[in-house]
Amino acid sequence: MALLAPTAEAHQIVLLPEPQWTTNDKDTKYNPLAFLENQGFKPQQDFKAWRDENGYKSLRDFMDRAKYTVTEGADFNCGFTDPKGTPQPIPAGNMRSTGYTHDGPCEVWLDDTMVLDGDNCHEKFPGKDAPVDYSSCKGSCLMRWYWLGVRFLKNEYSWQVYKECIPLGGPGSSEAAPPTGQGNTTSAEGSKKEGE
């Protein structure tokens, strides 16, 4: 019997708005861009505590600034998605994914505004739809989706990097509630500019 790689059960991509892929290989699309335990990181279950201890402001800050190598053929910033592809219509209030199959934090950004986040998106967004306020996307913007899959494999934690970039533009409106919250608090209903 052949041993399966740890990627065999990893299945997470954005469905709406639809990314434009730079590969047609389904396995490549669904697999993590990197396994950080193999690149000098010491993964733990509580990524937020680790992130705070190591001076990163957000998941995006970590995923964009940390030193690691992505899968051959992938773009460091956008994985196997094309940030310069045809802009997709702005959805009316939600985004849809294949569903968070593992624990771990996620964030969605429209340009430099965070519009969705969770410390454990597997619990916070148990279905396939998640509310996103698209009102900060004035005509066109780039949606950036980040997810760090946290799994316990072979008696240690694994951090698995997922990133997608989706250009948005054209018709659509937000049906989500207007931004709420105070200070640096961010929720699915609010938004936060990078650096706040």
| Nearest-angstrom CA–CA distance, 17 and 131 | 13
Q: Which amino acid is at 25?
A: D
Per-residue tens of pLDDT for the chain, all 196 residues? 333 334 344 567 898 899 999 999 988 888 999 999 999 999 999 999 999 999 999 999 999 999 999 999 999 999 999 999 999 999 988 998 887 788 999 999 999 999 999 999 888 888 888 999 999 998 899 999 999 999 998 899 999 999 999 999 965 433 333 333 333 333 333 444 544 4
Q: Are 132 and 115 in contact (CB under 8 A)?
A: yes
Domain ranges within the chain, ordered by starting residue: 14-173
Query: What pLDDT is recorded for position 124?
Result: 86
55-101 per-position pLDDT tens digit: 999 999 999 999 999 999 999 999 999 999 999 999 988 998 887 78
**Would you say how long the chain is, in residues?**
196
**DSSP annotation string for 51-92:** HHHTT-SSHHHHHHHS---PPTT-BTTTBTB-TTSPPBPPPS
Exposure of 150 in the CB half-sphere (CA atoms within 13 A): 19
The pair of three-digit structure tokens given for residue 9, joined into one six-digit string: 């059960």
CA-nearest of 75, 71, 66, 136 to 108 is 136
pTM of the predicted structure, to 2 decimals: 0.81
